[in-house]
Amino acid sequence: MSGPSPDPAAEHYAANVARNYGAPPITLVKGQGAYVWDVAGKRYLDFAGGIAVNSVGHAHPHWLKRVTEQAGKLVHVSNLYRNEPQGQLAHALALRCGPGRVIFCNSGAESNEGLLKLARLHGLRKSGLEGACIGVVVAEKAFHGRTFGGMSATPQEKIQKGFRPLLSGFTTAPLNDLAAWDKAIDAKTTTAVLIESIQGEGGVNPATPAFLQGIEKICRERNVLLMIDEIQCGIGRTGKFFAFEYAGVKPDAIAMAKGLGGGFPLGAIWMAPPHDDLFQAGSHGTTFGGGPLAATAGLAVLEIIESEKLIAKVAQQSIGWHAELRKLIELRPDLVKEVRGAGYMVGVILSIDPVPLVTALRDAGMLTAPAGGVAVRLLPPLNASPEELAESVAILRQVLVGWKAA
Ligand SMILES: Cc1ncc(COP(=O)(O)O)c(C=O)c1O
């Protein structure tokens, strides 16, 4: 006689959840700070962070208080009406980004759709003719999302396969190869470039400051929008509010999502003047975007980042953490080639497929995320303690020491 299943979610997933995520291996039921627990009560150090989403950890008391209070007050009204938190969050982001305007949405892919629509409007303004200036240059190994615009901007066979024809107008050039971008950016037909300051899904590949500065110069000369995708690397993760700040460039538009809501679905695009008037009444919109609950979640994240001085902490604590992680190269030079990234966005670059190692790390009590077929990605919450950072290194050491080379 069989009793009730210890994990009904596993059965429901097997029977009724679409298979596009494969078969997720564990059922998570609870989170607190930098830890999550599965249905069997096993605890994990969560350095996958919901793929760079849980910026202030799980169940942060201030985030929880703000979100639950707002949930009891006003959850949704649509953009037919103003709501207070949306206005406050737009203002808070403009203080970080510079004067300009913000459109809210619900995910990273939607943020990039907004940027791509902005690029079309800029191309129209630039050329005076719809369809004449629609070129967007993107980087090899980029990842910009799974919508049709996002996929079109993501030059990866595994993402695009089966969905073609995609949007036209995209050109690809290797990240950090300024000469190639100089050639690809055409003064007449290119309307924008779209670049991740640090590629996440592509394997934690940073754009160099010199490259971003060179791109900025070309964009200014040719009246091309510099659009930066900070969806994964933004909101404090790298030890600056935006990762492009390391290069000192001034984007024309920025895509945000992931860490902005601290776990609540929230995306945003910020646009600098004079481009912030390209969207006029009726040209873009969403039912849910910038709703009072989501905007409050975003405000709570910014308040925590501010009050706990998390950006300075990430910048400071990551120095020692990276140094400890780099010792893994000496420990297993046959497996670990490099440690790269910035702040709390780190790729441990391997000479083997990262997926089995991610599984072994999970078994050993730490969640991480593979990236680009080469990296184990570590994405701690911005408020991870020195002890939690040290624990991540200890788990990596333990698993790597025992790893049998194939
Ligand atoms: C840089 C970047 N852009 C866009 C996206 C898409 O975001 P979402 O999955 O929220 O649609 C991601 C997601 O991983 C990302 O890392």
Tell whether 185 is covered by a domain.
yes
- Which pLDDT value is given to residue 72? 98
Distance CA 44, CA 359 (A): 12
- Which pLDDT value is given to residue 97? 97
Mean pLDDT, the chain, rounded, equals 97
Q: What is the reported pTM?
A: 0.98
Tell whether 406 is covered by a domain.
no
Distance CA 71, CA 76 (A): 9
- Which pLDDT value is given to residue 294? 98
CA of 295 to the centre of ligand 1 (A): 19
CA of 3 to the centre of ligand 1 (A): 41
Tell whether 3 is covered by a domain.
no
3-state DSSP helix/strand/coil percent for the chain, to nearest 5? 40, 20, 40
CATH of the domain at 330: 3.90.1150.10
- Is 8's pLDDT higher than 80? yes
Q: Is the same domain home to 132 and 72?
A: yes
Q: Is the same domain home to 303 and 328?
A: no
Q: Is the same domain home to 338 and 388?
A: yes
- Is 3's pLDDT higher than 80? no
Q: Is the same domain home to 111 and 141?
A: yes
Q: Is the same domain home to 251 and 313?
A: no
Strands 366-367 and 43-46: parallel
Q: Is the same domain home to 303 and 392?
A: no
CA of 372 to the centre of ligand 1 (A): 14
Q: How many domains does the chain have?
A: 2
User: Which of 110, 143, 238, 345 is the best mutation target for the ligand 1 pocket, counting ligand atoms within 8 Å of the beta carbon and taking the most?
Assistant: 143
| pLDDT, average across residues 249-255 | 99
What does the pLDDT look like over 75-99, one tens digit per residue?
999 999 999 999 999 999 999 999 9
What does the pLDDT look like over 285-308, one tens digit per residue?
999 999 999 999 999 999 999 999
- Which pLDDT value is given to residue 405? 77
User: Which of 144, 151, 227, 286 is the best mutation target for the ligand 1 pocket, counting ligand atoms within 8 Å of the beta carbon and taking the most?
Assistant: 144
Last residue of a domain, one of 276, 307, 338: 307
Structure tokens at 291: 């709703």
- Return the closest-CA partner of residue 207 out of 140, 289, 261, 126: 140
Last residue of a domain, one of 248, 279, 307: 307
Q: Is the same domain home to 315 and 292?
A: no
Q: Is the same domain home to 51 and 86?
A: no
What string of DSSP letters covers 85-105? HHHHHHHHHHHHH-SSEEEEE
- Is 1's pLDDT higher than 60? no
Q: Is the same domain home to 95 and 128?
A: yes
CA of 6 to the centre of ligand 1 (A): 33
Q: Is the same domain home to 155 and 137?
A: yes
- Which pLDDT value is given to residue 2? 62
| pLDDT, average across residues 43-47 | 99
CA of 257 to the centre of ligand 1 (A): 8
For the ranges 3-17, 50-64, 204-218, 275-289, the lowest mean pLDDT is seen at 3-17
| pLDDT, average across residues 104-131 | 98
By percentage, how much of the chain surpasses pLDDT 90? Answer: 98
Hey, is 137 helix, strand or coil?
A: strand
Strands 225-229 and 190-196: parallel
What is the atom index within ligand 1 of the atom nearest the CA of 146?
Answer: 11
CA of 108 to the centre of ligand 1 (A): 5
| pLDDT, average across residues 342-352 | 98
Structure tokens at 269: 């695009």
Q: Is the same domain home to 203 and 282?
A: yes
Instruction: Judge contact between 340 and 349, C-beta under 8 A.
Output: yes
What is the atom index within ligand 1 of the atom nearest the CA of 258?
Answer: 10
- Is 250's pLDDT higher than 80? yes
Ligand 1 — pocket residues by CB below 6 A? Answer: 51, 107-109, 112, 143-145, 196, 200-201, 229, 231-232, 257
For the ranges 4-8, 31-35, 124-128, the lowest mean pLDDT is seen at 4-8
What does the pLDDT look like over 368-389, one tens digit per residue?
999 999 999 999 999 999 999 9
What does the pLDDT look like over 169-227, one tens digit per residue?
999 999 999 999 999 999 999 999 999 999 999 999 999 999 999 999 999 999 999 99
What is the atom index within ligand 1 of the atom nearest the CA of 110?
Answer: 11
User: Which of 227, 231, 233, 260 is the best mutation target for the ligand 1 pocket, counting ligand atoms within 8 Å of the beta carbon and taking the most?
Assistant: 231
Strands 336-342 and 345-350: antiparallel
CA of 107 to the centre of ligand 1 (A): 7
DSSP conformation class of 186: -
Hey, is 370 helix, strand or coil?
A: strand
User: Which of 147, 159, 201 is the best mutation target for the ligand 1 pocket, counting ligand atoms within 8 Å of the beta carbon and taking the most?
Assistant: 201
- Is 5's pLDDT higher than 90? no
Distances (CA, A) of 118 to 46, 79, 185: 36, 19, 17
CA of 181 to the centre of ligand 1 (A): 23
- Is 406's pLDDT higher than 90? no
Structural domain of residue 43, as residue ranges? 8-59+309-401
Torsion sign (Cα): 128, 250, 297, 56: positive
Confidence of residue 26 (pLDDT cuts 50, 70, 90): very high
**Lateral strand order in the sheet of 43-46:** 28-32, 35-38, 43-46, 366-367
CA of 288 to the centre of ligand 1 (A): 18
CATH of the domain at 216: 3.40.640.10
- What lies within 8 Å, CB to CB, of 161 at 6+ separation is none
Distance CA 58, CA 302 (A): 15
Q: Is the same domain home to 249 and 122?
A: yes
Last residue of a domain, one of 253, 277, 307: 307
